[in-house]
Copies of this chain bind each other. A is one copy, B any other.
Amino acid sequence: MTRIPGRALTVPPTLADVAERAGVSRQTVSNAVNNPELLRADTLVRVQEAIEELGYSPNRAARNLRTRSSHLIGLRMSPVQEFTANAAADRFVHSLVDTSREAGYQVLLFSGDATDPESGYDDLLRSTAVDAFVVTDTYLGNPQAAWLRERRAPFVAFGRPWDDPSATHPWVDVDGAAGAELATRHLLDKGHTRIAWIGWRKDSFIGEDRRSGWSRTLKERGLPTTGLASRVEDTVNSGREASAVLLDEALPTAFVCASDTLAMGVMHTLAERGMHAGEDVAVVGFDDSQTAQVMHPGLTSVRQPLEDVAIEVVSALEGLLAHPRRIAEGKLLTPTLAVRRSS
């Protein structure tokens, strides 16, 4: 925006201003912006110069009104979890923002109270404030998915529709079983044969999925799983208590945990007993949190490819918005293992 003396900078130039300056009609300016190939080369140059000189950007509200699309993606933030090592959601938001931008979209954040999963979505949808949603909190089924589908709202889920295999919306997820398998195989390679599992309550689909990767890997090798598994809440203290019991009763030499939070609980138990992770007992967590990265001695952890998840989510979103009736697809990505000194 060049500084025009006397005119407030707070009133940005419009299409008409550019048209006047370039000596063309408003429509031609619009075409220069949206369909430059329609203009003769010299006209295009003249218009672009005027745009540059005035610092013109199309008014978003006017464009949104006319095109009935906002190029905004709605994302509901799940509440902050303190006293856990879970930061996957935040890492994902970063990736999503970056990827969306490349696709010409921006992310509108909103929050809703935890008790009402639909709150927030409804208003945004009816006011056509966003073109689509990205739904992330699908840990225990996802009521929003059914709700959004019913309203024909375009959305992509990060997380499988566990509770409804017939669901027809696009989704992207990370193969938790493969992650746990990766972790378990890594420990097998290190010579461990008694490998314990500390996971979440049985009603957690994600927890059971991850657990299955551990159990199937041990069973494949004919190794025991009985008495070596524990299902608890996702807190440090639960992990601490569960690992203490397991150490006493099942004598494992390694732990695979459904989260870094639980793995930190194991670390507490080890420290309390004067044992050292990576020397006396191996520990592997899940999510590659900042804590896993900075703690002593470094926690081996399954890392979700959240950057790739974001790419797939945005790609699905583009498909969805371009072809609303297209059949939905699911995409399952494979995690990696960040090996550190705890194993």
Contacts and interface: CB of A to CB of B under 8 A. Distances in A.
A290 B60 CA distance: 39
A291 interface: yes
A57 B123 contact: yes
Contacts of A101: 110-111
Interface in A261-285: 261, 264, 267-268, 271-272
Contacts of A84: 290, 294
A264 B295 contact: yes
5 nearest A-B residue pairs (beta carbon): A61-B64, A57-B126, A61-B65, A90-B90, A57-B127
A126 B56 contact: yes
B295 A126 contact: no
Contact of A109 (B93, B261, B297): B93
29 contacts: A1-B151, A10-B152, A12-B127, A57-B123, A59-B128, A60-B64, A60-B70, A61-B62, A61-B128, A64-B64, A65-B65, A80-B94, A82-B293, A84-B290, A87-B90, A87-B290, A93-B109, A94-B111, A97-B109, A101-B111, A106-B108, A106-B110, A107-B108, A107-B109, A261-B294, A264-B295, A271-B297, A290-B290, A291-B291
Interface string A89-112: 011011001100100001111110
B65 A77 contact: no
Nearest to A276: B271
A9 B296 CA distance: 55
A129 interface: yes
Given A9-B152, A107-B109, A151-B9, A128 B60 contact: yes
Interface residues of A, number: 62
Nearest to A120: B101
A224 interface: no
A236 B129 contact: no
A58 interface: yes
A165 interface: no
A61 B70 contact: yes
A59 B111 CA distance: 20
Interface string A296-312: 11000000000000000
A184 interface: no
A58 B126 CA distance: 8
Contacts of A294: 83-85, 236, 261, 264, 291
Contacts of A297: 271
A23 interface: no
Interface in A119-138: 123, 126-129
Which interface residue of A59, A291, A296 has the most chain B CB atoms within 10 A?
A296
Contacts of A291: 85, 290-291, 294-295
Given A80-B91, A127-B60, A152-B9, A267 B296 contact: yes
A126 B293 contact: no
Contacts of A80: 91, 94
A188 to B, nearest CB: 27
A296 B264 CA distance: 8
A295 B295 contact: yes
Which interface residue of A10, A56, A290 has the most chain B CB atoms within 10 A?
A290
Given A60-B128, A83-B290, 7 more contacts: A12-B128, A57-B126, A85-B291, A85-B294, A264-B295, A267-B295, A272-B296
